[in-house]
Amino acid sequence: MVALLALGVIMVGAAWLRLTHLDTLPADLHGDMASYGLQAREYLSGREWRIFREGWANIPAVGYFPSIASMALFGDNLLGLNMGAALGGLLSLLGFCLLLWRLFGRPGLALLATAILAITIPHIHFSRIAAYIDPWPWSLWAALFLVDGLLARRTFSLALAGVLLALGGQMYYAGRVVFLILAVSVAYLWLFHRAWLTGRGRGLLLFALGFLVAVGPAAVYFARHFDILMERSRVVFCSTPTS
């Protein structure tokens, strides 16, 4: 009970840091954020309706859904645009706390880490501007349900983890690093904690199925237009430097 109360206090404080003057701070509106808002307006106005394709900057159209939803609920303006990031930031904090709590079984550790993250300037900043934080609520909650599914052999948790992971991977580019993290984590578990994986074939199959269902027809589209999906990665990868 005390731990839950402490978590509530942390979340209230985090909400104040992320929601206060959300329509005026930061004062600068970067072109990326503006482009997210304009793309969301295309869907809200009905001028665009296709969801299994790329949007602005070749980001999958699903990646704009948080901005579309927040502008539909909170206003077709800067407040509505930034609200999606603020709520995403809060959800990422909650998912981060519950992930550590479930993984290590130590609420004090989880609360301390979450409190530190809640007042970290980069997290506050990216929780107040659209786009960049979008992948992390999905990915952190996917990690939470993946850990829960492996520890407790819950097939539903594993299936839900697959769905959330697929959605997070279709958000802003930074979310794609989670696939590398997942691959390294699976290799680590196979080498050093194989008991986490053995006897969970059905659950892992549902994890993969959930992933495929969430990607949906977009998988076919981007398989045919893989160069579009990877265009930004080719620009920023260290292995492909540009002059």
Across the strands, what pairs with 54? 60
What pairs with residue 60 in β-bridges? 54
Which of 94, 97, 200 lies closest to 151, judged by CA?
200
Q: In the structure encoding, which two tokens stand for residue 60, read together?
A: 């999958």
What does the pLDDT read at residue 8? 98
pLDDT, tens only, 52-71:
889 998 999 999 999 999 99
Q: Determine the Cα–Cα distance for residues 154 and 127; give it in Å rounded to an integer.
A: 32
Q: Which residue has the higher pLDDT, 4 or 239?
A: 4
Which amino acid, residue 193?
H
At residue 59's C-alpha, the angle toward residues 53 and 61, to 5°, is 45
pLDDT digits (tens, 9 = 90+) for 10-26: 999 999 999 999 999 99
Q: How confident is the model at residue 27 (pLDDT cuts 50, 70, 90)?
A: confident
Q: What is the pLDDT of residue 216?
A: 87
Cite the beta strand spans of 128-177 per DSSP E. Answer: none
Can you tell me the distance from the alpha carbon of 203 to that of 118, in angstroms, rounded to the nearest whole number? Answer: 33
